A and B are shown apart, each in its own frame.
Chain A
Amino acid sequence: MSDKPREQWGSRIGLILAMAGNAVGLGNFLRFPRQAVENGGGTFMIPYFVAFLLVGIPLMWIEWGVGRHGGLRGHGSVPGMFESLWKHPVAKYLGVLGLFMPLVVLIYYCYIESWTLAWTFFSLTGATQGLDQDGMRGFLSSYQNLNDPSIHSMWTPILFFVITLGVNIWVVSRGLMGGIEKLAKIGMPILFIFAAILVIRVLSLPGHAVADATGCIGAAAGTCSPTDGLNFMFTPDWSALGNAKVWLAAAGQIFFTLSVGMGSLQAYASYLKKKDDLTLSGVATCATNETAEVVLGGSLAIPAVVTFFGVTGAVAISKAGGFDLGFVAMPLVFNQLPGGQIMTIAAGVMWFGLLFFAGITSSVSMATPVMSFLEENFGWTRRQSGLGIGALALTLGLLHIFFYQGGFLDEWDYWAGTFGLVILALVETILFVWVFGPDNMWRELHEGAALQLPRLFKFVMTYITPVFLLVMMGWWTVTEAIPTLLMEGKPASEHATRWASRGVMFAILIAQLLLIRAAWRRRAARKEVVT
């Protein structure tokens, strides 16, 4: 443990914006609308908000509690936090998940984030203007595939990745108050302003003639409007409520959107003081994220795409994935906006600009746990740890750029960015609630609290949240993890790349376990010298 005094947040609003910035990410604008339309429309909101109350908010409080409890004992990352909850030699090794997940996700997330920066640039220069749907898809495909230099040089994605990573490292190297908090105070208002302007623009669009207007109010006249998009998003399908898959999809969306199970919320919370509130601040963080997701995210992509492609077209685009929605369909929508070239440029810059800010406020949080770990255990300076993480992310990020088409990124996204999150959330819930004890957990959460939580939540956090997580993990193991492990449905040509991708992840995990062992040996040696 380092003897240096730990940094602190400069203000409560800075902390909440940074926490909300951590939670608000690309998924709020690209994943949520797709999940809603694929899982019952308006009915999706019922399991979604149930999961929000039973899993989302409780996990947010748990992670803030684990983080502050560990931070007050000098731990800024999960291995030390777990050990402070459970005095057992295994605890710190379980905490490797809180180093592994954020590092792995940081690396590939920065690559995706660099697309948003690139598309902001392309929007500004008008590079995507005049393209039809095939042209737009080819534009994205050439960017993702280095072997296809028909539109982009192979250096273009590398250049934008290096710039994005550089900005991330610059921000985190400036420290908590001067870097992360300042970014959140600038980035979050910009994100909300850009999104609000785009929502007003999209919802005030007139009806538009589409090739297939089935399902639109103006079907007889062959037109669709943003209202049709909202109808499509929010009309309830009651039969979906009886479908377990819908409930798990809603719980999964809540899980991803709040960035729980990652290790980064705990790292941020470790900089709280003993008497800082975490109950009300946790609610404010969740509510800010939900507003960005439900009000802004739900009113942007789907209504815009339905207006110009109809419900049938929107379904096809949605099924092709979130990236098609964000990087193919939305620029096509912007190309057709009334107002000419200026409106196309402005809308493109605002859309990809808001995605960039959503991305970077999340990615800087992912760098924090590993940096804290290196600083506290090996005496690295903030600058050294930033450069170290940057060098590693650059090297491994290039693998994603070179082997994106072979499924290299998909593997990391599934095992670390999806399945791993539930494992960490389950482990930390068991440790904080059951091992640390429900009474201790409740006392810890209410230290300096500005909001007394209803006692019902003690019951929810003790029984309901862990059971919910167990069911989610069991379901995903059977329906997704095993088929993914066996590469079912994946072309044989991708198998080698996917195995290599898993090998690199495994190497990172082993290296981090060894680092934890080395860190604790150093601590033991220092204790011996002191005594």
Chain B
Amino acid sequence: MRLTALIFMLAAWTFVLGLMVWSFYRLMKTPENEKLPPPGSIP
């Protein structure tokens, strides 16, 4: 594979894959809002 094509491909892949992994990692680290039980279900 041509070096310039390889560099562009790897740069593009690294950017999008890196962004996806980073964003999902950050999301997993952030706790979701606690789900409250449906109204009326607590006696």
- On A, residues with C-beta under 8 Å from B are 11-12, 16, 41-43, 45, 49, 227, 230-231, 233-236, 273, 275-277, 280-281, 283-284, 286-288, 290-291, 293-295, 298, 448, 450-451
Q: In the bound complex, how far is the Cα of B2 from the Cα of A230, in angstroms?
A: 9
Contact indicator B13/A227 (Cβ below 8 Å): no
Contact indicator B19/A234 (Cβ below 8 Å): no
Contact of A291 among B6, B9, B17, B30 (CB under 8 A): B17
Mark contacts of B1-12 with chain A using CB atoms, 8 A cut-off: 1 yes-contact digit, 0 otherwise: 110111011011
Contact indicator A288/B20 (Cβ below 8 Å): yes
User: Chain A's interface: helix, strand, loop or mixed, by majority?
Assistant: helix
Most chain A CB inside 10 Å of its own CB: which residue of B2, B6, B13, B15 = B2
Q: Among residues 1 to 43 in chain B, which have CB atoms less than 8 Å away from a CB atom of chain A?
A: 1-2, 4-6, 8-9, 11-13, 15-17, 19-20, 22-24, 26-27, 30, 32-33
Q: Using Cβ atoms and an 8 Å threshold, which residues of chain A touch B12?
A: 45, 49, 234, 294, 298
- On B, residues with C-beta under 8 Å from A are 1-2, 4-6, 8-9, 11-13, 15-17, 19-20, 22-24, 26-27, 30, 32-33
Q: In the bound complex, how far is the Cα of B17 from the Cα of A286, in angstroms?
A: 11
Q: In the bound complex, how far is the Cα of B26 from the Cα of A12, in angstroms?
A: 13
Most chain B CB inside 10 Å of its own CB: which residue of A11, A16, A236, A291 = A291
Q: Using Cβ atoms and an 8 Å threshold, which residues of chain B touch A275?
A: 33
Contact indicator A231/B2 (Cβ below 8 Å): yes
Please, could you name 30 A-B residue pairs with CB atoms under 8 Å apart, sorted by A?
A: A42-B5, A42-B8, A43-B8, A230-B1, A230-B5, A230-B9, A231-B1, A231-B5, A233-B5, A234-B5, A234-B6, A234-B9, A235-B2, A236-B4, A275-B33, A277-B27, A280-B27, A283-B19, A284-B20, A286-B19, A287-B22, A288-B20, A290-B16, A291-B17, A293-B16, A294-B13, A295-B13, A298-B9, A450-B30, A451-B26
Q: In the bound complex, how far is the Cα of B22 from the Cα of A287, in angstroms?
A: 9
Q: Using Cβ atoms and an 8 Å threshold, which residues of chain A touch B20?
A: 284, 287-288, 290-291
Given contacts A231-B1, A276-B33, contact A283 B9 (CB under 8 A): no
Most chain A CB inside 10 Å of its own CB: which residue of B13, B16, B27, B32 = B16
Q: Using Cβ atoms and an 8 Å threshold, which residues of chain B touch A231?
A: 1-2, 5
Q: In the bound complex, how far is the Cα of B30 from the Cα of A295, in angstroms?
A: 27
Contact of A284 among B6, B15, B23, B32 (CB under 8 A): B23
| CB closest chain-B residue, reference A36 | B12
Contact of B17 among A295, A448, A450 (CB under 8 A): A295
Q: In the bound complex, how far is the Cα of B16 from the Cα of A45, in angstroms?
A: 11
How far, in Å, is A229 (CB) from chain B's closest CB?
A: 10
Known: A45-B12, A234-B9. 12 other contacts (CB 8 A): A42-B5, A42-B9, A49-B12, A230-B1, A230-B5, A231-B2, A275-B33, A276-B33, A287-B19, A287-B20, A295-B13, A298-B12
Contact indicator A49/B15 (Cβ below 8 Å): yes
Q: Using Cβ atoms and an 8 Å threshold, which residues of chain A touch B33?
A: 273, 275-276, 448
How far, in Å, is B3 (CB) from chain A's closest CB?
A: 10
Q: Using Cβ atoms and an 8 Å threshold, which residues of chain A touch B19?
A: 283, 286-287, 290
Q: Using Cβ atoms and an 8 Å threshold, which residues of chain A touch B13?
A: 294-295
Contact indicator A450/B5 (Cβ below 8 Å): no
Contact indicator A45/B23 (Cβ below 8 Å): no
Q: In the bound complex, how far is the Cα of B16 from the Cα of A294, in angstroms?
A: 8
How far, in Å, is B39 (CB) from chain A's closest CB?
A: 10
Contact of B8 among A45, A286, A288, A291 (CB under 8 A): A45
Q: Using Cβ atoms and an 8 Å threshold, which residues of chain B touch A233?
A: 5, 9
How far, in Å, is B4 (CB) from chain A's closest CB?
A: 6
Given contacts A45-B8, A45-B11, contact A11 B16 (CB under 8 A): no
Q: Using Cβ atoms and an 8 Å threshold, which residues of chain A touch B6?
A: 234
Q: In the bound complex, how far is the Cα of B5 from the Cα of A290, in angstroms?
A: 19
Q: Using Cβ atoms and an 8 Å threshold, which residues of chain B touch A295?
A: 13, 16-17
Q: Using Cβ atoms and an 8 Å threshold, which residues of chain B touch A273?
A: 33
7 closest pairs, A vs B, by CB? Answer: A42-B8, A287-B20, A284-B23, A287-B19, A234-B5, A290-B16, A450-B30
How far, in Å, is B29 (CB) from chain A's closest CB?
A: 9
How far, in Å, is A293 (CB) from chain B's closest CB?
A: 8
